[in-house]
Amino acid sequence: MRSDGAPTLHHDDLNRLRWRCTRRAFLELDLLLGEFLDQRFNGLTEEQARAFAVLADLDDHELWPLVNGSQTCDDPQQAAVLAMLRESRENPA
Amino acid sequence: MSYSNIAVRKFDAVIVGAGGAGLRAAIQLSESGLKVAVLSKVFPTRSHTVAAQGGVSASLGNSEPDHWTWHMYDTVKGSDWLGDQDAIEFMCRKAPEVVVELEHFGMPFDRTDEGKIYQRPFGGHMSNFGEKPVRRACAAADRTGHAMLHALYQRNVRARTQFFVEWMALDLIRDAEGHVLGVSALEMETGEVSIFHAKATIFATGGAGRIFASSTNAFINTGDGLGMAARAGIPLEDMEFWQFHPTGVAGAGVLITEGVRGEGGILRNASGERFMERYAPNAKDLASRDVVSRAMTTEINEGRGCGPNKDFVLLDITHLPPETIMKRLPGIREISIQFAGVDPIKAPIPVVPTCHYQMGGIPTNYKGQVVVPVGDEPNVPVPGFYAAGECACASVHGANRLGTNSLLDLLVFGKASGETVVEDLKQMPAEHRSLPADAIERTRERLERLDARSGGESEYETRLALQRVMQAHCGVFRFKDKLAEGVEKILEVEQRVGKVAIKDKSKVWNTARVEALELDNLIEVAKATMISANARLESRGAHVRDDAPDTAERPNGRNDTEWLKHTLWSRDGNSLAYKPVKLEPLTVESIALKTRSY
């Protein structure tokens, strides 16, 4: 972890995450997760980065309702990341 | 990086792709006791089959009388008579069997009150040879593909199928006699290349919808199987035929359903004109998909498109009360905000006709064997090579696919290819044929090119250029001059693909390398599509040309005298050949040619 709390993923881990964010079953999630990774991931705390990785590992039919807001998420870290994910599209960096 | 010590892994069969077709084929092989490897770029339940919503068709007759011959008629008509009637009969006859089998695998189909599989109506599904609509689509809510893939995956786990997840197949291996002996493949986690040496190779790699700038296809659909086949000298069949949807979000491809226009949505050009009034004075914005798509393309081509590049039109619902939008179109508002960056209550949504499904592919017969012309015989099986699903062309979809036949295609031809492999292997010697000395050469050359080049074209920019050329020159409505120009432009893009350089030279999880390797496949599909479309001088099904209009002599612009034939594009010299459509079914009378109208 960096001194400012931001995630310090190794090249291999980041690229693995990138592949799992941008080669999904749903085009919608390819687009959303890929852009978030490029534009916002570096601003996450270590805990938020872990929460993002957990979300990225969900099946698309589990993740999409959480992303589009038709279902809510009980985990506070994941809920925070989901809110940032939605906000990143509504107000692009 | 050295590619001198390549590991060789021996299997009875290797399947490339773990979507519906690959998983269905794998069940057949594993349950027969064969040693099977399934390679996939992603975890199997992340395959694009998951995105299929509509259903799978089968004439079960659970809600009202239905018959496979009626299903066959609808499919032949949908194909605009370009589908092979032997394969279509085979698929429609097998449909009830594979659907019930899937139910027994644990597929949670929706049920009737009596506990039978519930069936819903769907566009183009008719009873009694086109008489009236019939309920033929079997579904699991709006998650049919997802439920299907999970059922098939679990069955494979039970059968102990061996999966190689996050492996990318790179090239087909053939010997001097043309036998297919497996594939080379890259393990992303290590960067190591292996040979999968097999007696039988089944491609089930899905479609290549990412050749278009606007596509509903997920990023994974890069036509890997088609690229590998083309580089190994296998022609691609009927690649000019692609299904489009009129309203995808410009720049993203995410679908905006027809329901928006049903609620009062209006299509406008750059000057704000409701242009559909000129093209369809009565139906206006509610005209059929093809009419709307053609009108949109004409507006864009004639300079009345919107935005800095004048390359989209607007779908306007700002005149609707906000409460109506919030109540009836909440999902569409969400998609528009997320993917177009506009709240449709305040501003119109940028939309373009969007690629959805690939009808052509690797030529096969109804048994799943890949077939090529040899001498005067147009359909000679390639020993050891099979294909199924969207990457294959059996051809059951011909010039246009009937809704819900895509999932059926996966089940029927996934199973058929597996059954054929089981039978063919019984005739083969116990020992594998020897690998040729140059088995890995094509792969080595591609990888070493990327390793060695320090400067050149950007993969991202080149992929974008490819997609823009395809969208502008070979979209839903096609024009003679645009196509001819498109051929030149796509060949220029091919030159750029050959010069792509990547900065990251690492081995482990080098996604830049994988994306450059995907681009090698996309360019083969793009060339096949553009060159085949430029050559077919008629309109048929999804291939609609401005210079082949609807006339009394040639309804819908179709020209059966000269063009009732399949296209075969070969990579070598970008040459084209043609072969006859199989108009004779297996056991019933041929469905005679007539004008396709609904």
pLDDT tens digits for range B302-315: 999 999 999 999 99
Mind listing the pLDDT tens digit for each residue in B415-445? Answer: 999 999 999 999 999 999 999 999 999 999 9
d(CA B474, CA B490): 11
| Percent of residues, chain B, with pLDDT higher than 70 | 99
- Count CA within 13 A, CB hemisphere, residue B223: 29
Which domain CATH number covers A64? 1.10.150.250
Give me the sign of the Cα torsion angle B561, B563, B565, B569.
positive
- Partner residue facing B218 (CB), from A11, A25, A86: A25
Give the end of a domain, one of B405, B427, B449: B427
Tell me, yes or no, whether B203 lies in a domain.
yes
Contacts of B188 in chain A (CB under 8 A): 16, 19
Q: Tell me if A31 and B254 make a contact (CB, 8 A cut-off).
A: yes
Tell me, yes or no, whether B598 lies in a domain.
no
DSSP-derived 3-state class of residue B312: strand
Mind listing the pLDDT tens digit for each residue in B170-184? Answer: 999 999 999 999 999
Structurally, how many domains does chain A consist of?
1
Tell me, yes or no, whether B571 lies in a domain.
no
From first CA to last CA, the distance across chain A in angstroms is 24
d(CA B170, CA B521): 9
Range B190-214 average pLDDT: 97
Residue-level pLDDT at A92: 52
Q: Which two tokens stand for residue B167?
A: 């492996």
Range B506-524 average pLDDT: 96
What is the β-pairing status of strands B132-138 and B56-57?
A: antiparallel
| Percent of residues, chain B, with pLDDT higher than 90 | 87
Range of the domain at B254: 248-354
Q: Which two tokens stand for residue B2?
A: 């050295």
Tell whether B48 is within 8 A of chain A (Cβ): yes
Q: Smallest CA–CA separation between A90 and chain B, in Å? A: 6
Q: Smallest CA–CA separation between B186 and chain A, in Å? A: 14
Q: Tell me if A23 and B46 make a contact (CB, 8 A cut-off).
A: yes
Tell me, yes or no, whether B185 lies in a domain.
yes
Residue-level pLDDT at B2: 59
**β-bridge partners, B352:** B248
CA-closest candidate to residue B566, choices B586, B583, B584, B545: B583
Tell me, yes or no, whether B115 lies in a domain.
yes
The chain-wide mean pLDDT, for chain A, equals 87
CB of B402 closer than 8 Å to CB of B359? no
Residues B389 and B258 in one domain: no
Residue-level pLDDT at A4: 57
d(CA A46, CA A49): 5
Range B245-249 average pLDDT: 92
DSSP-derived 3-state class of residue B403: coil
Q: If pLDDT is split at 50, 70 and 90, which confidence band does B544 have? A: very high
d(CA B538, CA B540): 6
Tell me, yes or no, whether A1 lies in a domain.
no
Contacts of B339 in chain A (CB under 8 A): 28, 31, 89
Q: Measuring CA to CA, how many Å separate B173 from each of B41, B203, B229?
A: 19, 13, 10
Q: Which letter does DSSP use for residue B44 in this model?
A: G
Give the mutation candidate from B332, B338, B503 for the A interface (greatest A CB count, under 10 A): B338
Q: Smallest CA–CA separation between A27 and chain B, in Å? A: 4
Tell me, yes or no, whether B446 lies in a domain.
yes
d(CA B127, CA B74): 9
pLDDT at A93 over 70: no
Question: pTM of the entire structure?
Answer: 0.94
Tell me, yes or no, whether A46 lies in a domain.
yes
CA-closest candidate to residue B248, choices B340, B122, B333: B340
Mind listing the pLDDT tens digit for each residue in B100-156? Answer: 999 999 999 999 999 999 998 888 899 999 999 999 999 988 789 999 999 999 999
Task: Reply yes or no on whether B558 is catalytic.
Answer: no
Residues B184 and B325 in one domain: no
Residues B256 and B228 in one domain: no
Gyration radius of chain A over CA positions: 12
Mind listing the pLDDT tens digit for each residue in B252-306? Answer: 999 887 778 888 999 999 999 999 999 988 888 888 777 888 899 999 989 999 9
Tell whether B336 is within 8 A of chain A (Cβ): no
Residues B131 and B227 in one domain: yes
Residues B399 and B508 in one domain: no
Residues B268 and B218 in one domain: no
Tell me, yes or no, whether B560 lies in a domain.
no
Residue-level pLDDT at B54: 77
Q: Tell me if A19 and B510 make a contact (CB, 8 A cut-off).
A: no
Which domain CATH number covers B279? 3.90.700.10
Give the burial string for A9-20 (b: 16+ CB within 10 Å, else e). beebebbbbbbb
Residues B98 and B180 in one domain: yes
Tell me, yes or no, whether B314 lies in a domain.
yes
pLDDT at B466 over 90: yes
Give the mutation candidate from A28, A39, A60, A63 for the B interface (greatest B CB count, under 10 A): A28
Range B318-329 average pLDDT: 90
Pairs across A and B, CB distance < 8 A: 90
Q: Tell me if B218 and A69 make a contact (CB, 8 A cut-off).
A: no
Residue B298 in marked binding region? no
Residue B297 in marked binding region? no
Contacts of A18 in chain B (CB under 8 A): 511
Which domain CATH number covers B156? 3.50.50.60
Q: Tell me if B47 and A89 make a contact (CB, 8 A cut-off).
A: no
Mind listing the pLDDT tens digit for each residue in A11-52? Answer: 888 999 999 999 999 999 999 999 999 999 999 999 999 999
Residue B438 burial class via C-beta count within 10 angstroms: exposed 0-12, middle 13-18, buried 19 and up = exposed
Residues B419 and B457 in one domain: no
Contacts of B338 in chain A (CB under 8 A): 28, 32, 68, 86, 89-90
Q: Tell me if A60 and B50 make a contact (CB, 8 A cut-off).
A: yes
Mind listing the pLDDT tens digit for each residue in A52-92? Answer: 999 999 999 899 999 988 899 999 999 999 999 988 766 65
Residues B405 and B332 in one domain: no
Instruction: Please calculate the CA angle B70-B414-B79 and round it to the nearest 5 degrees.
Output: 40
The pair phi, psi for residue B273, each rounded to 5°, is -70, 140
Residues B387 and B487 in one domain: no
Q: If pLDDT is split at 50, 70 and 90, which confidence band does A3 have? A: low
Residues B228 and B91 in one domain: yes
Tell me, yes or no, whether A57 lies in a domain.
yes
Element (H, E) at B9: strand B7-16
**List of long-range contacts for B377-381, beta carbons under 8 Å, 24+ apart:** B378/B579, B378/B580, B379/B579
d(CA B393, CA B387): 8
Residues B181 and B253 in one domain: no
Q: Which residue has the higher pLDDT, B332 or B382?
A: B382
d(CA A60, CA B481): 42
Q: Measuring CA to CA, how many Å separate A62 from each of A77, A90, B122?
A: 17, 22, 27
Q: Smallest CA–CA separation between A82 and chain B, in Å? A: 13
Mind listing the pLDDT tens digit for each residue in B479-510? Answer: 999 999 999 999 999 999 999 999 999 999 99
Range of the domain at A45: 11-90
Tell me, yes or no, whether A6 lies in a domain.
no
- How many other β-carbons are positioned within 10 Å of the β-carbon of residue A93? 9
Q: Which letter does DSSP use for residue B401 in this model?
A: P
- Count CA within 13 A, CB hemisphere, residue B282: 1
Tell me the residues of chain B between 185 and 204 that have a Cβ less than 8 Å away from chain A.
188-189
Among chain A residues, CA nearest to B143: A61
Gyration radius of chain B over CA positions: 23
Q: Which of B143, B289, B433, B449 is catalytic?
A: B289
- Partner residue facing A15 (CB), from B49, B215, B510: B510
CB of B353 closer than 8 Å to CB of B214? yes
Among chain B residues, CA nearest to A29: B218
- Count CA within 13 A, CB hemisphere, residue B231: 22
Q: Measuring CA to CA, how many Å separate B165 from each of A89, B67, B179?
A: 31, 40, 26
Residue-level pLDDT at B543: 96
In angstroms, how far is CA B389 from the centroid of its own chain? 8
CA-closest candidate to residue B18, choices B136, B144, B227, B161: B161
